[in-house]
Structure 1
Amino acid sequence: MSKSKIALILLAFVTFAFYACKKEALTDKQAALQQLVGRWPLKLRIREVDSAAVIRKDTTAYNPVDTLVFSADGTYFQTNKTIIKSGTFTIDEAGENITFSGTPALTQKLNYIRTTTIGLVVSDETVTTGSTKVRTLLIDELSK
């Protein structure tokens, strides 16, 4: 075999290996869905009050613990020894909001998605009194 044929075969092999190992880029929605799948016990409710550059945080532990279970097929159920509710969920294209089915549908902001914790915004209110703004943020923290 000539050296040019061997070089051509090696080049073809390297090219094939490069394309076979190329990583698929995930969209924000796909990455959020991939991270959500699993059991997520509701551990804490965090109340953050921001008033004139002073931030106060309070946390309340849940006992007994409600658990949200997300499946890759877009279904979920909430349980606390027995199933409380179930349905489907969708995540927006930006991976920032989750909508739970129901009447009416409930949309919550995903404040953060980490490896072992998720923060779901329950409410985010800003009240202005004169020149003072007070922002109150309630977040449910779910931990694996």
Structure 2
Amino acid sequence: MSKSKIALILLAFVTLAFYACKKEVLTDKQAALQQLVGRWPLKNRVVTIYDGFAIKTEISPYNPVDTLVFSADGTYFQTNKTIIKSGTFTIDEAGESITFSGAPALTQKLNYIRTTTIGLVVSDETVTTGSTKVRTLLIDELSK
């Protein structure tokens, strides 16, 4: 084999290795979906109250614990020993909200998605009394 053929083969391997190791860029929606797939027990309801001066947080455990199971094909089911509810879900392009199918459809903000916990916003209300604004944030915390 000539030196030019060896150099050409080595160049082909280096080029192939470069393209094979190229990092895949995920959209926010794809990253959220990838993180969401799996079995998520609904463990706590977190109530946070911001009143301008202080923050008060209360954590109430769910009993019994319901579990949400998300699949990569966009289906989900909620279970507590038996299936309570099932359907499809979609995530918005920004990866910030999830919409569950049904009549009517339910859209919830994804407050956070971490490796072992997800926060789904149940309600976010702000009440103004005089010059004081009080914000109450209710979050369902799902934890693996």
Q: State if a TM-score over 0.5 links the two structures.
A: yes
User: By how many angstroms is 1:75 displaced?
Assistant: 0.5
Partner of 1:111: 111
Partner of 1:25: 25
Q: Deviations over 1:49-107 (max 9, x none)?
A: 00013100001001110110111110111111111111100000110000000111000
Distance 2:39 2:4 in 1: 57
User: By how many angstroms is 1:20 displaced?
Assistant: 1.5
Residue 65 of structure 2 aligns to a residue whose secondary structure is coil
Residue 39 of structure 2 aligns to a residue whose secondary structure is strand
RMSD: 0.9
Q: Deviations over 1:98-129 (max 9, x none)?
A: 00001110000000001110000000000111
Amino acid at match of 1:86: S
Amino acid at match of 1:142: L
Distance 2:65 2:52 in 1: 34
Partner of 1:127: 127
Amino acid at match of 1:100: F
TM-score by length of 2: 0.96
Residue 141 of structure 2 aligns to a residue whose secondary structure is strand
Listed as ranges, the matches of 1:45-124 within 5 Å are: 45-124=45-124
Distance 1:2 1:86 in 2: 65
User: By how many angstroms is 1:31 displaced?
Assistant: 0.8
Consecutive aligned runs of 4 or more in structure 1 exceeding 3 Å deviation? none
Distance 2:38 2:23 in 1: 24
Distance 1:77 1:104 in 2: 17
Unaligned runs of 5+ in 2: none
TM-score by length of 1: 0.96
User: By how many angstroms is 1:3 displaced?
Assistant: 2.6
Determine what percentage of the aligned residue pairs are the same residue.
86
Residue 35 of structure 2 aligns to a residue whose secondary structure is helix
Deviates more, 1:127-136 or 1:2-11: 2-11
User: By how many angstroms is 1:23 displaced?
Assistant: 2.2
Partner of 1:6: 6
